[in-house]
Amino acid sequence: MNKDASIRLQDNIILEHYGLNELNLESVKNYRERFAKVKPNHPWNGLETKDFLYKIGAWGKIRNTSKEGLTLAGLLMFSEERMITEVLPQYFLEYRENMSEIVNDQWSKRFTSQDGTWSGNVYDFYFKVMNELSYASQAVKEVVHEALINALVHADYNGEGGIVVERESKQFRFSNPGLLRTSVEHIFTSGISNLRNPNLFKMFILINFCKRAGSGLKTIESTCQRYGWEKPTFIQHDPSERTIFTLPIVSFPERHNEWGSENFVEPFFDLTEKENVFNSVNKSGNSINNKGNSVNKTENSVNKALESVNKGLNSVNNDQNSVNKTQDSINKDLNSVNNSVNKTDHTEHGNEKEEIEDELWKLAELARKKKRLSPAMMEQIILQLCAKRPLMLKELAQLLERTPDGLRNNYLAKLLSEGKIQLKYPDQPNHPKQAYMTKQN
C-alpha cells in the first residue's frame, strides 16, 4: 500500500484487516456525542458502534463477500498514528508556532502526530490545533477553522511531507500534500470544490463543521475583506506536489485584549443551534435559574423566612444573638476580638472550606455514577463545580471520574470558547496552578 504515482488510495477503500480494535474509542465517543448534540433526534444515535460507523462512511462492507472493515477515511479519522502509518507510511500531522517577530527555526510550541501523547488521528488533530486558539476572537477562529478543515479534506494522504500548520505573529500557513484540483484563479469564486477525500468531508459535515464544498473559502475571503486583512494566497509547489495556503492576519489580537473569551463563537455551530432549547443553560429543566434549582428558589433562598439572615430569631441584630449583646458582645472579655474571636473565625473558615468540598463532591455525583452523560448535562455539572471555586484539571478529573485529556478536549475547551468559564491565570496558560472558574469567581 505504499505510495505509487499511478495508484492513489481513495478514502472509501475498505481495509478488511482493520477492525474496531484499531480505533481510538475516545475519538469515536467524542464524535458520537457531538453528532447527538447537533442531531439529538437522529435515528443513527441508537445504532451500535459498527452500524453507526457504516452510516457515516467510516466502515465498509465488500459486496457479495463476508469481508468488511474500516474505510481509509475511518482509519484517518478515528484510529491512531501507529495503525494509520501501516497503511499510509507518509502520514504526518504537525502544528508549530513562533509568535516573535524574529523568524527562525525555534518554535515556541510544537506537537506532531508522532509524539505519542495523543491519538495522532485527523479528528483529534483538529481539536488540538483549535485549542491553541482558546483566546482567539470569533473572526480569527472562524477563518482558521475553515482553512484547517480545507487542508484536512483536500490533502493527499499518500503524499509526502504531511499536513503542517504554522502560526506566526501575523499569519497562519497551512501546507498539505496534493495539488489543487481547481485553478488558483477560480478557487475563491467558483464555489465548486473537487474533493480528494469525500468521506472525510462527509464526516465533518455530519457534525456541522462545514456546510458544502467550496463555501469555506468564500467564508475566509469575506471575513478577510470585512477586517481589512490581505487576501489569502495559494501556492502550488509542483516538484513536491504540495499546496501552501497563507492566511495573513494583520490585526492579530493580543491575548489580553481582543482575545477575551466573551468574543468566542464556535464557527461550526450556527447561532440558532447555540440557542436551541436542548443546549440552553436557561432551558426549563437545566436552567441555573430554573425554579427547582434556582438559588432564589423559595425553599432554599437565603432570604427565605425560616433561614433568612434577617429573620428575627437568627438576625445578626436579634436581641438574643446581637453582636452587642452583653453575653456575646465582641467587647466582652470572654469573646474579645483580642481573645477567642480570632480562633472562632479560623475555625469557621475551616468549616466553610470543608462544606465547599462536600458540595463539590455531591455536585459531581451524577457524573461518577453515569459514565455516559449527555454533553449538555456534563457541561452543566462542570459549570456548577467551577462556580464554587477555581478547580485544576486534575481536581475536575477526580471529581467527575473522567480522564484529564477527555475533559479538556471534549468540554473545557468548548466552555472556554463560549466564555462560560475562564482560566485563573489567562496570561499564563501553562501556569503550574492553572484552574478553571466561572466569571463570578
Q: 10 Å Cβ neighbour count for 102?
A: 7
Q: Which residues contact 214 (CB under 8 A, 6 or more apart)?
A: 190, 191, 192, 193
SS3 1: coil
Residue 412 DSSP one-character state: I
Q: C-alpha cell of 365? A: 455525583
- Distance of CA 293 to CAs 162, 281, 433, Å? 50, 12, 31
First-last CA distance in the chain: 55
What one-character-per-residue DSSP string does 25-48 give? HHHHHHHHHHHHHH-TT-GGGGS-
CA distance 56 to 199: 8
Q: What is the pLDDT of residue 32?
A: 96
Q: C-alpha cell of 305? A: 423566612
CA distance 381 to 224: 38
Q: 10 Å Cβ neighbour count for 429?
A: 13
Across the chain, which distance is largest between two alpha carbons, in Å?
97
- Distance of CA 138 to CAs 80, 143, 144, 226, 376, Å? 31, 9, 10, 13, 22
Question: What does the angle CA 245 – CA 141 – CA 160 come to, to the nearest 5 degrees?
Answer: 35
Q: What is the pLDDT of residue 357?
A: 87
Question: What does the angle CA 194 – CA 195 – CA 201 come to, to the nearest 5 degrees?
Answer: 145
Residue 212 DSSP one-character state: S
Q: What is the pLDDT of residue 135?
A: 76
Residue 72 backbone dihedrals phi, psi, to 5 degrees: -60, -40
Residue 168 backbone dihedrals phi, psi, to 5 degrees: -120, 180
CA distance 339 to 334: 7
CA distance 107 to 164: 13
Beta bridge partners of 110: 96
**pLDDT tens, per residue, the chain with 441 residues:** 444 433 457 888 999 899 999 999 999 999 999 999 999 999 999 999 999 999 999 999 988 888 899 999 999 999 999 999 999 999 999 999 987 655 556 678 899 999 999 999 999 999 999 999 877 788 889 889 999 999 999 999 999 999 999 998 888 999 999 887 565 555 555 555 668 899 999 999 999 998 765 566 777 877 887 887 888 887 877 777 898 999 887 544 443 333 333 333 344 433 333 333 333 334 433 444 444 444 444 444 444 444 344 444 444 444 444 444 444 444 444 344 344 434 444 455 567 778 888 889 999 999 888 878 888 889 999 999 999 999 999 999 999 998 888 888 888 988 888 889 999 988 887 788 899 999 877
* Amino acid type, 386: C
The pairing of beta strand 14-15 with beta strand 59-61? unpaired
CA distance 329 to 317: 12
CA distance 87 to 73: 12
The answer to whether residues 129 and 118 touch, using CB atoms and an 8 Å cutoff, is no
The pairing of beta strand 93-98 with beta strand 163-168? parallel
Strands (E), 76-150: 93-98, 109-112
Q: What is the pLDDT of residue 339?
A: 44
Q: Containing H/E element for 169?
A: none
* Amino acid type, 298: T
Query: What strands lie across the sheet with 171-177, from one edge to the other?
Result: 109-112, 93-98, 163-168, 171-177, 242-248, 233-237
The answer to whether residues 363 and 385 touch, using CB atoms and an 8 Å cutoff, is yes
Q: Radius of gyration of the chain from Cα atoms?
A: 27
CA distance 140 to 159: 29
- pTM for the model stands at 0.57
Using CA atoms of 392, 398, 401, 404 in order, give the dihedral in degrees to the nearest 10.
40
The answer to whether residues 391 and 435 touch, using CB atoms and an 8 Å cutoff, is yes
Closest CA to 255 of 263, 244, 265: 263
